[in-house]
Amino acid sequence: NVVAIPVDDPIAFTFFTGYMAMLAASVFFFFERGSVDGKWKLSMLVSALITGIAAVHYYYMRDYYLATGQTPTALRYIDWTLTVPLMCVEFYLLTKSAGAKTSLLWKLILASVFMLVTGYIGEAFSGGDSTQVALWGTLSTIGYVYVLYSAWYGEVAKLAKNTGDSTVIKGINTLGWFVLVGWAIYPIGYMCMPGGWLNTGLGWESSNVDLFYNIADAINKIGFGLVVYNIAINSKKA
Amino acid sequence: NVVAIPVDDPIAFTFFTGYMAMLAASVFFFFERGSVDGKWKLSMLVSALITGIAAVHYYYMRDYYLATGQTPTALRYIDWTLTVPLMCVEFYLLTKSAGAKTSLLWKLILASVFMLVTGYIGEAFSGGDSTQVALWGTLSTIGYVYVLYSAWYGEVAKLAKNTGDSTVIKGINTLGWFVLVGWAIYPIGYMCMPGGWLNTGLGWESSNVDLFYNIADAINKIGFGLVVYNIAINSKKA
Ligand SMILES: CC1=C(/C=C/C(C)=C/C=C/C(C)=C/C=O)C(C)(C)CCC1
Ligand SMILES: CC1=C(/C=C/C(C)=C/C=C/C(C)=C/C=O)C(C)(C)CCC1
């Protein structure tokens, strides 16, 4: 009953790397929370929680994948249900000093929950039907675009400018790039499932769903936290 | 022997999300305890214990549910036996500065233990008999209404006003709403069991008992703690 990872299974590889990277990142953020200035401690804690929560779910997901070879859809969305709203909390905390109200937080959470609920329906209940996959994926994208818009041109972007702190402005700008490029990897994964455009159109295998999701998770969860860490470190100097 | 959550099982979904949310909330309260003003550290610790205790019970409950598909009634009430009195402690601690006596604490604990003992009898020994379910549910509600009354018009409400701290008054008012709306989800779950009004009357399935309990627990345990955290943060500034 030992962990046996086939050498030719990139998905198992990323599940295990992802697990360990999340755990290590979480320990890192917990420790460094003690070194940053008081006003950044809360953001650091949220970063640690995001990667910590992911570490637990990756622990289950990699074992599930290794045992069954299947996509752990439910576990994946259980993880996102918790970590994506926490990322919205990060945006809120960073812009709070510029006067962000809780209404902003709720709008971001609402949009991202909409994105996840519709995405889940698409993944869990489409049964490989192309129309269903496309319909729910498109709906989901509306929620995604709302968060994206907010980070680039909407409330988050405006508030970031108002902070007058160049480190925060640059940091939020970087987070915007994460939402634009990093988050965009998820829909690519989604379209690899049976009935998805990349699956039916280009013949990409459905096992790639997890490959893309794992890579995207590592980039976004750990990267997001590192950006926040960077803001905390540099803004301290100023 | 891996964790395999069916995609179409919302109850398993909430058991897992609940577990992770409780654990994360507990870590959050433990850490943030270090950042709040001295007089709030005790309340923060109690919040961390409530969610921490729940995390352990959710760990067992989710596994029990996944393996058997049954309601983990005993584990549920074991959890409540510890966490509900701790919530009474929260009320007591918040009103202590206004002169709350331990007699208030004991009255709240007595009422809520009465609520839980009668509720347990109703759930464990009614055997689907409508009369039994209704009888014990009604008795249980008496205890619930006592706590509700105390928070809205009774001793807790009066003492909150006496604190003269607007953050505390507003906070206790919010907790009152939690007891009115959040706690009211529990009897809804109760009435879904075989012989309950929602089960016999509207045909709601008995599996919904856990769905409602899980949602209510997440709202009340984590929400309660966040309200206390909010009081601690804002009252510190003043
Ligand atoms: C647009 C879109 C999706 C977007 C998912 C995203 C953007 C997930 C982000 C997750 C993050 C950031 C997790 C980190 O903790 C889905 C649901 C795949 C469905 C297809 C359409
Ligand atoms: C009124 C009523 C009930 C109320 C239960 C409540 C109000 C439980 C609260 C639990 C909490 C707040 C736990 C958090 O840690 C029961 C027992 C279901 C039985 C039916 C009648």
Residue A194 Cα, ligand 1 centroid: separation in angstroms? 18
**Ramachandran class of B132: left when φ > 0, alpha when ψ lies in -120 to 50, beta otherwise:** alpha
Residue B164 is given by DSSP the state -
Residue A172 predicted with pLDDT over 90 = no
Q: Is the CB of A187 under 6 A from ligand 1?
A: yes
Residue A237's pLDDT band, with cuts at 50, 70 and 90, is low
pLDDT category of residue B158 using cuts at 50, 70 and 90: confident
pLDDT-wise least confident of A7-11, A155-159, B58-62: A155-159
Contacts of A121 (CB under 8 A, 6+ apart): A136
What's residue A155's pLDDT?
Answer: 87
Q: How many CA atoms lie within 13 A of B171 on its CB side?
A: 27
State whether the beta carbon of A126 lies less than 6 angstroms from ligand 1.
Answer: no
B98-157: pLDDT as tens digits: 888 999 999 999 999 999 999 999 999 998 899 999 999 999 999 999 999 999 998 888
Count residue pairs from A and B with Cβ separation < 8 A: 59
**Pure H helices in chain B:** 10-33, 41-68, 73-96, 102-125, 130-152, 155-163, 166-177, 185-190, 197-202, 208-217, 223-237
Cα dihedral A187, A190, A195, A198, rounded to 10, equals 60
Query: What percentage of chain B exceeds 90 in pLDDT?
Result: 79
User: A1 or A101, which is more confident?
Assistant: A101
- CB–CB of B16 and A75 under 8 A? yes
The confidence score (pLDDT) of residue A65 equals: 95
Instruction: Give the integer Cα–Cα distance in Å for A222 and A11.
Output: 19
Task: Check if the beta carbon of residue B19 is closer than 8 Å to that of residue A53.
Answer: no
Least confident of A48-62, A69-83, A128-142, B153-167: B153-167
Instruction: State the nearest Cα–Cα gap between B28 and chain A, in angstroms.
Output: 7
CA trace torsion A214, A218, A220, A222 (10° rounding): 160
User: Of all atoms in ligand 2, which is nearest to the CA of residue B122?
Assistant: 19
| pLDDT score of B157 | 86
Helical axes A41-68 vs A73-96, angle rounded to 10°: 170
Say which residues have a Cβ less than 8 Å from residue B218's Cβ, sequence separation at least 6. B14, B17, B18, B21, B22
pLDDT of residue B168: 85
Cα of B27 to ligand 1 centre, how many Å? 26
CB contact under 8 A, B4 and A63: no
- The 10s digit of each residue's pLDDT in A126-168 is 988 999 999 999 999 999 999 999 989 988 888 888 878 888 8
What percent helix, strand, coil does chain A show, rounded to 5? 80, 0, 20
Residue B238 has pLDDT above 80, yes or no: no
CB distance A125–B27 less than 8 Å?
Answer: no
Instruction: Pinpoint the alpha helices (H) of A34-72.
Output: 41-68
Burial of B37 per CB tally in 10 Å (0-12, 13-18, 19+): exposed
Q: Look at residue B236 in the predicted model and tell me its pLDDT.
A: 54
Please compute the mean of the pLDDT values over residues B88-106 and round it to a whole number: 90
**Average pLDDT score over residue span B60-84:** 96
d(CA A137, CA A27): 35
Hey, whose CA ends up nearest to atom 7 of ligand 2? Answer: B183
Residue A21: what pLDDT? 98
Structure-block tokens of residue A154: 């909407």
Residue B14 binned pLDDT confidence (cut-offs 50, 70, 90): very high
Q: Inter-chain contact B24–A52, Cβ cutoff 8 Å?
A: yes
Quote the tokens at residue B162.
Answer: 């006496």
Question: What is the average pLDDT across B31-54?
Answer: 95
Which one is predicted more confidently, A206 or B221? B221
DSSP A36: S
pLDDT value, residue A238: 52
State the average pLDDT over residues B55-62. 97
